Amino acid sequence: MVAVVVASSHTLATPSSPLSTTICCSNSINKTLSVTRRRALVFSSTVILSPLLNFYNPNSTSAIALPEDELQQEEDRLVHLFQETSPSVVSIQDLELANNRKSTSNEVLPIDDENAKVEGKGSGFIWDKFGHIVTNYHVVAKLATDKSGSQRCKVLLVDAKGNSFFKEGKIVGYDPDYDLAVLKVDAEGYELKPIVLGTSHDLRVGQSCFAIGNPYGFEDTLTTGVVSGLGREIPSPNGRAIRGAIQTDAAINAGNSGGPLINSYGHVIGVNTATFTRKGTGVSSGVNFAIPIDTVVKNVPYLIVYGTPYSDRY
């Protein structure tokens, strides 16, 4: 995750002087206005009090039924959104085998080996029914650059029936320039649920968005927010700039990397990638970033077919 120092600032608020209006009248007019005002006050109070009494009347539900219904509908919509999308999100663990268990990358991973050391955790999402998983490059960088045969990747998935299972993730391709990588798991015998792809070119600041991932290892965590900004620039693992990033205040923390940022329809609009943090805390400051899905859609097919980005082949 990208960490920068964010200086705190404090703004002193200066109260403004309240507006005032002065009305000058003669004594006789004052008396008439005084009586009229008292009558108006009594009448107005009765009018105001009447709906309030009705509001608190236990036998009357018309005043509060609509807001409660709307609230329930909104909650049901979010619950449904999570239930429909979360089976497409995976948890990724970087493992280092014990010295006496090092082997070639073609051998089956001993995923139940208690001596394997967990070196990092991240998220990803199911790209297609063939078992391709999209995540951030920095989540699997050790596996991608491993020369010793000691690195492995353990992926926790959920099939379309809701059954959880572990599989080894094999590196298919990666692109450090865009902080993207593709894994593949052997999904034979399982029905996977690929995520639904959306678009990012038509996003608007202020629209709702949601992040699903595994922050700090807590699987299937949903956080909510809005699109806070568009066209941002964030650094890639190799130091180059990733342009067009989506800024959101939906919480993204360590372990969220590689997971999907989705819209209100459950369509993925970005890959959660980075967050600004106060130095030394590692805690999200509410300024978080995702790689736009339009960029992902352009690059992932090349990674699946060729293993490298288009730019590296010419």
Tell me which residues are annotated as active site. 138, 179, 257
Q: Are 273 and 245 a contacting pair, CB within 8 Å? A: yes
In terms of phi and psi (left: phi > 0; alpha: psi -120 to 50; beta: otherwise), the region of 240 is beta
Cα→Cα distances 115→97, 140, 148, 244, Å: 7, 20, 17, 42
Centroid of chain to Cα 152:
26
Give which of 294, 249, 250, 306 is closest to 270, Cα–Cα: 294
Q: Considering just the CA atoms, what is the radius of gyration of the chain in Å? A: 28
Lookup: tokens for 313? 């082949």
CA distance 235 to 228: 19
> Which residue is it, tokens 């989540």?
139
